[in-house]
Amino acid sequence: EAQVTQNPRYLITVTGKKLTVTCSQNMNHEYMSWYRQDPGLGLRQIYYSMNVEVTDKGDVPEGYKVSRKEKRNFPLILESPSPNQTSLYFCASSLLGQGNTGELFFGEGSRLTVL
């Protein structure tokens, strides 16, 4: 089954304790992206990657890091989480190139609470 898998789905942590949210897709997609969802703001892009070892900032990258060492994986790293990073996070992927219409395939989300 084609899917984007995120882990953990739920996490409560404390300020300053480094954490990683993993994301893996099995569709051989080149493009992967992280979004955060906050009430009244919709989804905002954090980082994206167009292929292995190619990453770039989205609209709200402060406080986050990413890496793309393998095509299928795109982890989101919070080096020193703060309460304003409490949010619902989504990983998404898609194809690139001719014929691609930009449709994103989303994971089920990771709800993070930073105390």
Partner 1 sequence: AQSVTQLGSHVSVSEGALVLLRCNYSSSVPPYLFWYVQYPNQGLQLLLKYTTGATLVKGINGFEAEFKKSETSFHLTKPSAHMSDAAEYFCAVSRGGFSGGYNKLIFGAGTRLAVHP
Determine the distance from the C-alpha atom of residue 82 to the mean position of all C-alpha atoms in its chain, rounded to a whole number: 17
Determine the distance from the C-alpha atom of residue 3 to the mean position of all C-alpha atoms in its chain, rounded to a whole number: 14
Which CB, 55 or 85, lies closer to partner 1? 55
SS3 of 24-54: EECCCCCEEEEEEEECCCEEEEEEEEEECCE
Q: Taking the complex as a whole, how short is the minimal distance between the CB of residue 58 and partner 1, in angstroms?
A: 7
- Asked if 18 contacts 86 with a C-beta cutoff of 8 angstroms, the reply is no
Which CB, 51 or 82, lies closer to partner 1? 51
Q: Taking the complex as a whole, how short is the minimal distance between the CB of residue 115 and partner 1, in angstroms?
A: 22
Q: What are the residues binding partner 1 (CB under 8 A)?
A: 4, 31, 33, 35, 40-45, 48, 50, 56, 58, 90, 92, 94, 96-98, 100-104, 106-109
Which CB, 35 or 64, lies closer to partner 1? 35
